[in-house]
Amino acid sequence: MGNFVHHLSGGIAAGALCGAVSYYQLHTPATDATAFAIISCVGSLLPDIDSPNSKPNDMAFGLASVIAPIFVLQGIGMARLGASNVILTALLVYVLVKYAARSLMQQFSVHRGMFHSIPMAIVWGALVYQAFRLSPQLIKNAAAASALVGFMTHLIIDELFSFVNFEGTRISPKKSFGTALKFYSSSLLATTATYAVLGLMLYACMRDMRLFR
């Protein structure tokens, strides 16, 4: 499978593509196009957060612990909270993401498990869509698509390195081939949990689109 440098390089390329398409083709503001590029790049590293003590794990939870309080406060409505409540809420979300969520991830996930899967790529796209739920529809769609592109870039790179021996001339599948671009894992619990989260996220997105009331 690809290493950190491979995934980071692929993420930068995917991010540049998403940002350029958003700005030049969809005519989104430069700030939004830049955000989409960053989201895509982050998504390209995200599948490896199921690997304990890895660079993507440190980066992802470090970034998430800073960004999550912003979206939580945005969802609650900062105008409804006093200064003390804003500070306490932000600190609580920071601690929950930085330590509790990371601890749970390390205990209940295995490397190349369901986090390396197509359903989880869709979950990531849906999460980003919800994070932008107060934005115009075009911005929400572009953000979610950028997230999905970045995540899928990681999975595709892993599969390429599982199929092609880049250090030699032999081209044949390794034992790890097919473990990234998958729809289920050997763990029934992990697979069921992933699809349950996917269903909830898609339902939330469809409600936002007013497909459901």
State the helix-helix crossing angle for 55-76 and 83-95, rounded to 10 degrees: 150
**Any domain includes 119:** yes
67, 143 Cβ separation under 8 angstroms = no
**Any domain includes 121:** yes
Q: Quote the pTM value.
A: 0.81
**Any domain includes 91:** no
Report the candidate in 152, 121, 143, 117 with the shortest Cα–Cα distance to residue 13.
152
Question: How high is the pLDDT of residue 76?
Answer: 79
Mean pLDDT of all residues in 189-208? 91
**Any domain includes 63:** no
Number of domains into which the chain is organized:
1
**Any domain includes 9:** yes
**CA separation for the pair 44, 202 (Å, rounded):** 21
**Any domain includes 98:** no
**Any domain includes 58:** no
The domain in which residue 171 lies consists of: 4-51+111-208
Say whether 205 sits in a helix, a strand or coil: helix
DSSP 92: H
Q: Rounded to the nearest 10 degrees, how much is the dihedral formed by the CA atoms of 129, 133, 136, 140?
A: 0
Per-residue pLDDT tens over the stretch 100-139: 887 777 666 666 678 888 999 999 999 999 989 889 999 9
Question: How high is the pLDDT of residue 55?
Answer: 73
**pLDDT band of 181, cuts 50, 70, 90:** confident
Average predicted confidence (pLDDT) for the chain = 83
Question: How high is the pLDDT of residue 17?
Answer: 96
**pLDDT band of 20, cuts 50, 70, 90:** very high
**Any domain includes 163:** yes
